[in-house]
Chains A and B, each alone.
Chain A
Amino acid sequence: MTDVFCYPVLDVLCPMHLTLNETGHITHAGPTIQKLRVDVPMVGQRFLEVFAVKRPRSITCMEDLRRAENLKLHLEMRDPPRTELKGIMVPTSGHEGNVIVNLSFGISILDGVRDYSLTNADFAATDLAIEMLYLVEAKTAAMEASRRLNLRLQGAKIAAEEQAFTDTLTGLKNRRAMDTVLARLVAGQSSFAVMHIDLDYFKAVNDTYGHAAGDHVLQSVARVMVEETRETDVVARVGGDEFTVILPDVRSDDILRKVGRRIIDRLEVPVIFDGHECRISASIGTVWIQSGERPSMEALLSDADVALYASKHAGRARQTFYSPELRQAANAGVPPVGRGHQSG
């Protein structure tokens, strides 16, 4: 009995179909499925020698396949490119044992059109393949635009955060940044030191030569402090002419003494602005926290203030280390004399 297939109809409706005879040989291939193997006619080959059935796994011979009526088949071409295909098999009403297998790329559609250079005309007009390709491309473009927006927003966020922690005039850290760093150190166990630095005679510069001169001096002060401290130290401008230097991992008070000395010495070098010599100095109050000590942030900053005022009272241009006696003296109204006093 001859085939009863109406190939022209099938070719239009299902361009990726195959018809098989009772021995499992391909008797007709739709125009698109044949494009998958342009050089080797599919007609005449055994279906299961061209395609491997990946699921259901139980199908290994034509007999199994014939029983898989109306089941979704997962197939793979045996030769490279090993394109994966979806398929469905239905028996025909004509000759016993003849079947139609209709195939589709399924999710491998993109690889399919690329590997075999398919065009719109290779798909049935009702097939959603082209819309699928359109969507993949449109969504990829849209995602890319969104990704770029996200990157820019992330960059802006980092810049804003950086700005929020930076003193815009000097480029030093600001009080917020200092609080964050200090909170971390206080919570830790290691030794560190805090220097409160207050500029001496700065108001006179501002009043005499104007704010521009003042700003210039502050920028120069910032540069000196950064240069005279380590990269791991944090220099913050916490008020108009107040600065805080946080020095992690300090092994001896001698180091602190030297750092303070160098800062004061360099700040005393006159800064020239608009032909005027701007002369300032600095008073420093220092707290050295030994490893294991766990002071509160408030107490720490207050101690540094006490030491700073001791320097001011003792004639400025010097560094004073905090000691409890200083606070007692300050509370008693006696001019305090701190340990480690340095004359300016």
Chain B
Amino acid sequence: MHGLINRSIQSYVCDSYGIDIWLDVTHRAALDFTEFEAMLNYDDATTEQVLNAVSEVLGRPRDELMEDIGTYLVSHPSFEAVRRLLRFGGVNFEDFLHSLDDLPDRARLAVSDLHLPKVELCEHAGGQFSLICDAPVAGYGHVMMGILRVMADDYGALALLEQTGGGKGVETVSITLIEAEYAEGRSFDLGARVG
């Protein structure tokens, strides 16, 4: 897995629970280092070990943890860049949902060796969607669910989200868009670069 992904998990643990918990995690995951480098690649197994260790140290189930990581990624101030880059995808929440098909390509355009799992949006009648997520790491669908919850708020949309099944490395998130313009939403200034 790309260092950016591993580093995000590290930041999540450090920002939410403190450095000591993170050191505990690295110890339990038998890493021989304590800091992931964002711009280096790591063995896929390492990510799995780290996620298992976080679950054990925090005593939280994987699904819940993954959704929390997704929420963190698009709401924490130090990851403002992620929220902004996602907002480039669409002018409203529905538009944004459709842009998710391009998410791995967009990510690769930014960082050529960053491979995100494939996601595919299916539109059903009556504001119903399902997002079919490849999940090379168990719980990726939950990460997407956490991201979508925050992004719906960001766009000011009212949406219901639930995980509806998975297995064989695929996880599905069901999305019911109840009201596209439910609230004001957060502003998105195209030219306001962060960092």
Contacts and interface: CB of A to CB of B under 8 A. Distances in A.
A, B bound: yes
Given A135-B109, A145-B39, A121 B91 contact: yes
B4 A134 contact: no
A57 interface: no
A137 B88 contact: yes
Nearest to A112: B191
A119 B109 CA distance: 22
B40 A137 contact: no
Given A133-B190, A140-B193, A145 B91 contact: no
A114 interface: yes
Chain A interface residue number, banded: 20 to 34
B38 A117 contact: no
B88 A146 contact: no
A139 B81 CA distance: 11
A142 interface: yes
A138 B4 contact: no
A133 B84 CA distance: 11
Nearest to B81: A141
Contacts of A118: 190-191
A148 B193 contact: no
Interface string B1-43: 0001000000000000000000000000000000001111000
Interface string B162-195: 0000000000000000000000000011111111
B189 A117 contact: yes
A113 interface: yes
A117 B195 contact: no
Chain B at the A interface: mostly helix, strand, loop or mixed? loop
Contacts of A152: 37
Contact of A134 (B37, B88, B195): B88
B40 A149 contact: yes
Given A120-B91, A146-B39, A149-B39, A137 B81 contact: yes
Given A117-B191, A119-B190, A142-B110, A137 B37 contact: no
A10 interface: no
Given A142-B110, A142-B111, A137 B38 contact: no
B58 interface: no
A139 B110 contact: yes
Nearest to B85: A138
Contact of B195 (A111, A130, A140): A140
A293 B78 CA distance: 62
Interface string A27-61: 00000000000000000000000000000000000
A130 B88 contact: yes
A136 B191 CA distance: 10
Contacts of B195: 140-141, 144
A149 B190 contact: no
Contact of B190 (A120, A138, A140, A142): A120
Which residue of A114, A118, A120, A136 has the most chain B CB atoms within 10 A of its CB atom? A120
A198 to B, nearest CB: 40
A110 interface: yes
B191 A113 contact: yes
Contacts of B88: 130-131, 133-134, 137
Interface of B: 4, 37-40, 81, 84-85, 88, 90-91, 106, 109-111, 188-195
28 contacts: A110-B193, A111-B191, A113-B191, A114-B191, A115-B191, A117-B189, A118-B190, A118-B191, A119-B91, A119-B188, A130-B88, A133-B88, A133-B190, A133-B191, A134-B85, A135-B109, A137-B81, A138-B85, A138-B111, A139-B110, A141-B194, A142-B111, A145-B4, A146-B39, A148-B38, A149-B37, A149-B38, A149-B40
